[in-house]
Structure 1
């Protein structure tokens, strides 16, 4: 089974996106509160390492993984 990587494009002018917003915007959780909960519970990895910082600044090139989903942070289109 192969996992497909989704792209999360930063908004024009942004240099980063907070980790919980990646999960929330892509609909991987039901809302920001749930996103923060799964992050603090250690269910999310960034670049292969568990990261429990809800407001961790994800930058271009970071790979976020949660519940079988893999997301790459990409520059604004």
Structure 2
């Protein structure tokens, strides 16, 4: 599983998807999140602004990425 470090203590889900190169644009993030295609720590997450912190695991399309501490 890949790990992507964040600079601050938390990051919004939509921003993390872009940072991790799991999607290309904010519009793509909005679409996949609202369609229920993204899970955080095994639970479907439908809020683009959901706050992620170090250790959280984001999954989309069978790809999992862990939020890393700076």
**Structure 2 regions of 5+ residues with no counterpart?**
none
Contiguous gaps of at least 5 residues in structure 1: none
* TM-score in terms of structure 1 length: 0.85
Q: CA RMSD in A?
A: 0.9
Total equivalences in the alignment: 70
2:3 is aligned to 7
- Structure 1 position 67, deviation (Å): 0.9
Greater strand percent: which structure? 2
| TM-score, normalising length: structure 2 | 0.93
- The structure 1 segments of at least 4 consecutive aligned residues displaced by more than 6 Å after TM superposition are none
Question: Could you tell me how far apart the structure 1 residues matched to 2:55 and 2:20 are?
Answer: 17
- Tell me the SS of whatever aligns to 1:58: strand
